[in-house]
């Protein structure tokens, strides 16, 4: 597949609206969406891209495309247990599982995969092998060509030099119905626990359903909310599930028992009505069982501000918040807990904040022409070859404008501690010398 270079943050364009984004490996992203069941000519499905950095900018290369017929992919999750990767995707009222098989193949410089190569093994050498008749014809021509022509032929031959590449093969597996609304059943969200032994789904019927993963056997069916569920997330230890819905409620659930632990509440300004939109737990390197939770909260009245909030779920309190003048639509937290990113509804802006202080580190005006539907940070904890770049953090964003973009924060250059000490000593010495010269 041809590579697509980043232009002003643009990684790639696809030919369908994008609704969901997921990191599959340390280098691969999955984007999904589509035009729905109506016959508009817009495809439904997902694409997988490999990301790398060419020394100047991030580059995306398409790896796999999978179409899903009449079912649009509105949400997805994945889990890698070190041996295999599993994708689960919401398709209408069902959750479809896909197994991802990975193999190493040889690729020519023109991007074509060499047939018959698997696991990095192949019958040929580094150069394409010619048939015997082809070699004899070339030998007869060799006596009549000039040195320049011979160099050109060697160059053409080298264009077939092969390199290794990871290929992802998608195979559909089990499918289960996860939403049972009387009218228009739809799975709205799916999440897999950090340990990979539990899956949670939520939809328009307001039920949370917990499933044994990856066997897709139902564990709990909880009538949790009075309206459709918007988002959920497992705690870092996987024992608590946080959920929010259009009924304006935010709950914490015990995964083992299926019982409600508590409801999160806050002092709403001026008695206005607010709706939770997105939530994500924050995991830090110091505390693997973090009690901190980020949430996006939108006012139902357009004149009221929206908020990015940092919660302490143990004390049921908002530690910090950042007001916005417009509706917020997307949220992501880096795997090291240092950064949080948000996307907006109307302007298509993307902002990255330092997590502990909620100080804005990057603002991207008009990253998308329409509302941001998904955000994902590139991982700092790698399950494979890392993307080497000069960035401290990078977040991928998607939108219904069919664009995949990336936004990064360069490493902040700091002065080494020993240099600071030397400068202090020199400053003190210089002050003494100046005082002695002035006779002070």
Looking at residue 76, what is its pLDDT? 97
Say how many C-beta atoms besides its own lie within 10 A of residue 294's C-beta: 24
**Mean pLDDT, residues 295-310:** 92
Are the beta carbons of 106 and 118 closer than 8 angstroms?
A: no
Neighbouring residues of 255: CB distance < 8 A, sequence distance ≥ 6: 193, 198, 210, 234, 238, 239, 240, 241
Looking at residue 271, what is its pLDDT? 77
**Mean pLDDT, residues 90-114:** 79
**Mean pLDDT, residues 34-56:** 88
Torsion of CA 154, 157, 162, 167, to 10 degrees: 150
Mean pLDDT score of the chain, rounded to an integer? 85
Give CA–CA dist 402/276, Å, rounded: 26
pLDDT at 302 over 80: no
Q: Report the range of poorest mean pLDDT among 102-111, 144-153, 279-288.
A: 144-153
Render pLDDT for 181-218 as a digit per residue (tens, 0 to 9): 998 999 999 999 999 999 999 999 999 999 999 999 99
58-67 vs 306-312, strand pairing mode:
unpaired
Question: Which run of H or of E encompasses 422?
Answer: helix 417-438
Cis peptide before 214 (omega within 30 of 0): yes
* Burial 138-160, CB ≥16 within 10 A → b, else e: eeeeeeeeeeeeeeeeeeeeeeb
Render pLDDT for 61-78 as a digit per residue (tens, 0 to 9): 999 999 999 999 999 999
Instruction: Report residue 281's pLDDT band, with 50, 70 and 90 as the boundaries.
Output: very high
Measure the CA angle with vertex 309, ends 246 and 394; round to 5°. Answer: 105
Share of the chain above pLDDT 70, in %: 80
Q: Provide the residue count of the chain.
A: 440
Instruction: Report residue 109's pLDDT band, with 50, 70 and 90 as the boundaries.
Output: low
Instruction: Report residue 167's pLDDT band, with 50, 70 and 90 as the boundaries.
Output: confident
Instruction: Report residue 137's pLDDT band, with 50, 70 and 90 as the boundaries.
Output: low
Share of the chain above pLDDT 90, in %: 62
Looking at residue 436, what is its pLDDT? 81
pLDDT higher at 146 or 353: 353
Tokens 């899956």, located at residue:
199
Are the beta carbons of 256 and 233 closer than 8 angstroms?
A: no
Render pLDDT for 387-432 as a digit per residue (tens, 0 to 9): 877 889 999 999 999 999 999 998 765 556 676 788 888 888 888 8
**Mean pLDDT, residues 373-388:** 83
Are the beta carbons of 202 and 229 closer than 8 angstroms?
A: yes
Give CA–CA dist 77/190, Å, rounded: 6
User: 99 has which bridge partners?
Assistant: 86, 171
Q: Where are the domains of the chain?
A: 1-92+94-124+149-177
Question: Which run of H or of E encompasses 408?
Answer: strand 403-410
**Mean pLDDT, residues 247-276:** 93
Give CA–CA dist 365/350, Å, rounded: 7
**Mean pLDDT, residues 365-391:** 87
Give CA–CA dist 4/404, Å, rounded: 11
Give CA–CA dist 320/360, Å, rounded: 13
C-alpha of 236 from chain center: 17
Look at phi and psi of residue 25 and say left if phi exceeds 0, alpha if psi is from -120 to 50, else beta: beta
pLDDT at 3 over 90: no
**Mean pLDDT, residues 302-328:** 93
Looking at residue 160, what is its pLDDT? 46
Nearest alpha-carbon partner for 51 in 43, 41, 40, 63:
63
pLDDT at 5 over 60: no
CATH topology of domain 1-92+94-124+149-177: Methylamine Dehydrogenase; Chain H (2.130.10)
Instruction: Report residue 146's pLDDT band, with 50, 70 and 90 as the boundaries.
Output: low
């Amino acid at each position: 597949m041809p590579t697509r270079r980043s232009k002003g943050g643009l990684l790639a364009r696809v030919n369908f609206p994008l609704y969901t984004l997921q990191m599959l490996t340390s280098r691969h992203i999955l984007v999904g969406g589509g035009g729905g069941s109506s016959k508009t000519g817009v495809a439904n499905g997902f694409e997988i891209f490999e990301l790398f950095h060419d020394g100047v900018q991030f580059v995306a290369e398409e790896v796999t495309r999978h179409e899903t017929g009449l079912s649009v992919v509105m949400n997805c999750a994945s889990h890698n247990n070190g041996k295999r990767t599993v994708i689960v995707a919401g398709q209408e009222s069902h959750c479809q599982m896909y197994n991802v098989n990975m193999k190493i193949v040889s690729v020519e410089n023109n991007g074509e995969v060499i047939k018959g190569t698997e696991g990095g093994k192949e019958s040929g050498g580094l150069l394409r092998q010619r048939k015997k008749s082809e070699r004899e014809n070339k030998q007869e021509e060799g006596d009549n060509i000039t040195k320049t022509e011979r160099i050109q032929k060697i160059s053409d031959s080298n264009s077939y030099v092969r390199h290794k590449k990871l290929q992802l093969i998608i195979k559909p597996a089990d499918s289960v119905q996860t939403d049972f609304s009387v009218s228009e059943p739809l799975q709205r969200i799916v999440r897999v626990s950090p340990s990979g032994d539990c899956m949670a789904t939520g939809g328009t019927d307001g039920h949370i359903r917990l499933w044994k993963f990856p066997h897709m056997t139902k564990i709990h069916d909880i009538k949790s909310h009075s309206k459709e569920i918007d988002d959920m997330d497992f705690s870092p230890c996987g024992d608590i599930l946080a959920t929010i819905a259009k009924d304006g409620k935010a709950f914490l659930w015990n995964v083992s028992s299926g019982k409600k632990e508590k409801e999160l509440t806050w002092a709403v300004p001026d008695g206005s009505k607010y709706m939770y939109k997105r939530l994500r737990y924050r995991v830090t390197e110091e505390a693997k069982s973090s009690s901190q939770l980020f949430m996006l909260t939108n006012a139902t009245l357009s004149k009221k501000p929206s908020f990015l909030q940092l919660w302490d779920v143990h004390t049921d309190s908002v530690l910090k918040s950042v007001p916005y003048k417009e509706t917020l639509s997307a949220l992501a937290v880096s795997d090291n807990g240092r950064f949080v990113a948000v996307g907006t509804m109307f302007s298509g802006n993307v902002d990255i904040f330092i997590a502990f202080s909620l100080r804005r580190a990057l603002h991207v005006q008009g990253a998308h022409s329409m509302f941001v539907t998904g955000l994902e940070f590139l991982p700092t904890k790698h399950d494979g070859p890392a993307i080497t770049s000069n960035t401290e953090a990078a977040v991928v964003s998607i939108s219904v404008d069919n664009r995949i973009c990336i936004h990064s924060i360069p490493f902040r250059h700091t002065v080494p501690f020993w240099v600071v000490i030397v400068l202090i000593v020199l400053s003190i010495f210089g002050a003494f010398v100046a005082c002695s010269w002035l006779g002070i």
